[in-house]
Amino acid sequence: MSAPHRPKDGKSSKGQPPSRGGPAKPKSGPPARRAPSSRPSGKATPGASGPAARRTREDYPTVQAFVAIGANLGDAQAAVRAAMDAIGTIERTTVTARSSLYQSAPIESSGPDYINAVVAVRTGLTAEAFLAELQLLEEQAGRERPFPNAPRTLDLDLLMHGNSIKDTPALTLPHPRMRDRAFVIKPLAEIAPDKVPRAALARVSGQTIQRLR
């Protein structure tokens, strides 16, 4: 298939160095009143740890998305596994599930068999921003597009992004051909069976695909 194509932790500040002077001698007379703290309640103080400090970490809403991964040049199995890891390094994105690897013959193309997989993620990026990050990973893996359906070092397809429905020159969601391809539907059904109707599995039952152990 052709491509349709970290959460940031707040910087912690260092605590103030401890005083090198000796203990202060108590003064006579009534104890001095302690001035009220100028720090807002619930905010982490410099050098602090624990729940209050963790609340300074940036929070953001996320959606569930699914990415199909394929490769049939070089060490395709290693390329697919590396892509699974690389997707987890995208800003504001966490991989939550990985399918097994599957092997299938090229469709409407030639070359070695493909290795395929699907990953589920939670991402805080928009569909367009997430697609751009996937396409960057393809480029870093040496992806070239000399002609349609050419063999490839890495192919990343955004299948679904939350409940997004899009049809633009750059992006169509859900992916328009995902239910016609066994190498997408079977790994997707493995990690998200609720996303794959039985009719979709029946539609690709005649396509040869092998799950790798």
Q: Annotated active-site positions, please? A: 143, 152, 155, 157
Residue type, 188: L
- Report which of 159, 137, 167, 166 is spatially closest to residue 71, judged by C-alpha positions: 137
Contact between 130 and 123 under an 8 Å Cβ cutoff? The reply is yes
Length of the chain: 213
Contact between 195 and 174 under an 8 Å Cβ cutoff? The reply is no
Cα separation, 72 vs 45, whole angstroms: 52
φ and ψ at 158, to 5 degrees?
A: -80, 115
φ and ψ at 156, to 5 degrees?
A: -120, 120
Cα separation, 125 vs 68, whole angstroms: 17
Radius of gyration of the chain (CA): 26
Cα separation, 35 vs 21, whole angstroms: 22
